[in-house]
A and B are shown apart, each in its own frame.
Chain A
Amino acid sequence: MFKRLMLSAAAASLLAMPAMASGGHDKVKIGFVTTITTGAGIIGKDMVDALNLAMDDMGGKMGGLEVDLIVEDDGFKPGIGKQKTDKLIKQDDVHFITGYLWSHVLLASRKTALDSGKFLISSNAGPSQLAGKLCHKNFFSTSWQNDQTPMAMGEVLNKKGIKSIYVMAPNYAAGKNMVAGVERTFKGKIVGKDMTKWGKDAQLDFSAELAKAKASGAGAIFIFYPGKAGGAFIKQYQQAGLQGKIPLYSVFTVDSIALPKLQKGKLNGVLGSLNTQFWGPDLDTPQNKKFVSGFRKKYGRYPSFYAAQSYDMMYLIKSAVEAVKGDMHNQDGLRAAMEKANFPSVRGKFSYGNNHFPIQNFYLRKVVKDADGNWTTTIVDTVFKNHQDTYASLCKL
């Protein structure tokens, strides 16, 4: 009985596949790799929610063609992410392979994705390799290069007159970039550094590291902890009594995903804290107003920057499909159109650098209460204007 079940299941899966692959080129097929399961699934959900919102706003069409959106779960593992990328190429034959929440998943998937001749668009991860030596004509980013945001933070620290910092980040591709970024612009001394275990079994208890930071006598702590680790860190930072003694500056840590939880946990110390970002929910552009109000109406919460980038990604593709009038075979036309970045972006008009990373502004944001008492961020200053990442010069495009 058991065996028969297995065989019929296998047969069913084999039969189901050809049906999915058919359809030819009368559709725009977009594959999206992100994390749906594990604790990081909350970020993936925010991204997918933004895609669905974009689909609603576009009426499910780009340049007259129907849009097929296929979301795959990488399980927070580079190996699985690469496997899903292979599936999107070979089974679903998508036109655009997109998503990629994590730098290490993107780096693992890069080769097969680009070797297949398809477009690869990152709507979050921005590892230095892909901005520099490994840049590719078919790779685009709708986010940023990892180093840029911490570089902006380094400038902020300089302006605040901070002389020394203690740096903490997870030990993976993006964590290393973030540290490199802040080290590049910060003029003071880095008195200590910890790179902690990341992945599905990430380290979440920072007792030993916080004790070291406290003993180091640093003027500030700089961290990069996306997702749930950020909330855990800030809580322990307060519990360890560092609040008010060593100020905390963060990138990609205090965002619309962490804030509701921090508010629920009554971690009031976060109010007023500063972080840098290319975007904010209150950024004053027409597209951003439409996006943020639409998102809040549909899902009842603030969108995160992950959502904003995914939303932009959809509009970037739409602009390209419209430019080639729905001729999905016209690879060069699609590429040329995307290079123009001629679409309404939530961050306002920006241009692409030679490595296909955005040249854009970076802002300083502060955590505040909105009119309804919800915690959110507001832009208080512009740190960089039209900033291009440092690796672009290594890119031979």
Chain B
Amino acid sequence: MLDPRLWQAREWVTALTLAAFGLAPVFTELASQPFILDLIARLMILAIAAVSLNLILGHGGMISFGHAAYIGIGAYAVGIPAYYEITNGFLQIAIAIGASAVFAFFTGLISLRTKGVYFIMITMAFAQMVYFAFISIEEYGGDDGLVIETRSEFGGLFDIEDTTTFYYFTWVSLVAALYLVRRIMRSRFGMVIEGAKGNERRMQSIGFDTYKYRLTCYVIAGMICGYAGALLGNFTSFFSPEMMDWTHSGELLFMVVLGGAGSLFGPVLGTAAFVLLEEFLSGITIYWQAIFGVLLILVVLFAPGGIDGFLGRLGRKR
């Protein structure tokens, strides 16, 4: 994997994309295009969320239609302490990950007892509960959202108020999330998760308590996504419940599928394609969502495996 001589299209694209993200600040500085840096930073944060969704969706076969809730939990874990002028980033991130874990554990406990479309709908229901819960809390802005006046502070180690520092913080986070998911999927734990997706009964009959494995996986994915939410809260300096309603969960699903569910790097490519297209199309016409919709349908109908599937085929041809 780390030997470039063995690389095929898929590996080249992965390496080049990450390198391009890593070098983007140089380009945007030279071209004085600070907005593009913002765009890529947002893209990478959403990519972390997509990677975490892919862990349960692509590898574990758990179609969560409520993943945006964790983004909300993570963002409010930054926003609410900041509201009380608690700006310690380590603490905020710990709250984001911890609260996401707790939420994932209790909702997973119930959701994972269901199968198929019931699972899709119950995860959505739990996410809607979080959505309405934050709308109902007047103190933290309710439906109007919460302005995060100060970004997380990391005790002088580094300062994410600086755009470039924040950008690299995000970049490192993305690489770390990818590495973490890769490690998980290559471990025995990952094998069980992947096996339970294909044939749960068989895994059970050879003695694995798949329910526990899946629950653990579900909690890990929630924690990673909660972390992404903490980043997003810092990035936008603002969060409102609307940013975690069911359409955003749907968008995360789209990013994963567009990139290729079940592949490690696919979700990053899917998110990149999604965010750049959205930015590009919405600049051309106010009717851009129709183009987006048609594209979504075409991808589902004619491009199973998404971008990663395409790269895989490209690799085989050589």
Contact = CB atoms under 8 A, between A and B. Distances in A.
Interface string A173-208: 100000000000000000000000111110000000
Contacts of A110: 147
Interface residues of B, number: 38
Q: Which of B35, B243, B277 has the most CB of A within 10 A?
A: B35
Interface in B25-45: 31-36, 38
Contact of A173 (B144, B237, B239, B303): B144
B243 A79 contact: yes
A321 B225 CA distance: 48
Interface stretch (A85-93, A292-300, A340-348): A85-93
Given A13-B279, A111-B147, A77 B307 contact: no
B303 A2 contact: yes
Interface stretch (A14-22, A224-232, A263-271): A14-22
A17 B144 CA distance: 31
Q: Which of B144, B238, B245 has the most CB of A within 10 A?
A: B144
Contacts of A104: 143-145, 240
Contact of B143 (A3, A6, A82, A198): A198
Contact of A199 (B143, B237, B272, B283): B143
A213 to B, nearest CB: 22
Contacts of B144: 78, 103-104, 107-108, 172-173
B112 interface: no
Q: Which of A14, A16, A173 has the most CB of B within 10 A?
A: A14
A73 interface: yes
B65 to A, nearest CB: 17
Interface string B121-147: 000000000000001000000111101
B147 A10 contact: no
Contacts of B31: 18
A330 interface: no
B277 to A, nearest CB: 6
A108 B238 contact: yes
A110 B311 CA distance: 43
Contacts of A16: 283
B30 to A, nearest CB: 11
A112 B237 contact: yes
A197 B135 CA distance: 9
A205 B38 CA distance: 40
A3 B307 contact: yes
Contact of B36 (A6, A14, A79, A198): A14
Interface in B274-311: 276-277, 279-280, 282-283, 286, 289, 298-299, 303, 307, 310-311
Nearest to A36: B286
Interface size class, chain A: 35 or more
B236 interface: yes
B237 A171 contact: no
Interface string B211-246: 000000000000000000000000011111011010
Interface in A1-51: 2-3, 6, 9-10, 12-14, 16-18, 21, 36-37
Contact of A79 (B34, B238, B282, B298): B238
A25 to B, nearest CB: 15
B209 interface: no
A103 B79 CA distance: 20
A77 B272 CA distance: 22
B143 A172 contact: yes
Contacts of A173: 144
A370 B310 CA distance: 64
Contacts of A77: 240, 242-243
Contacts of B310: 2-3
A2 B299 contact: yes
Nearest to A1: B310
A36 B286 CA distance: 8
A17 B143 contact: no
A170 to B, nearest CB: 9
B276 A13 contact: yes
Nearest to A73: B286
B149 interface: yes
B147 to A, nearest CB: 6
B18 interface: no
B80 interface: no
A9 B276 contact: yes
A6 B273 CA distance: 6
Given A2-B299, A78-B144, A197-B143, A90 B34 contact: yes
9 contacts: A73-B282, A73-B286, A77-B242, A104-B144, A108-B144, A111-B149, A171-B143, A172-B144, A197-B135
Interface pairs A-B: 6 shortest CB-CB: A91-B35, A13-B280, A90-B35, A104-B144, A10-B276, A90-B34
Given A13-B280, A91-B33, A199-B143, 13 more contacts: A10-B280, A21-B32, A36-B286, A73-B282, A77-B242, A79-B240, A90-B38, A91-B35, A104-B240, A107-B147, A108-B240, A110-B147, A111-B147
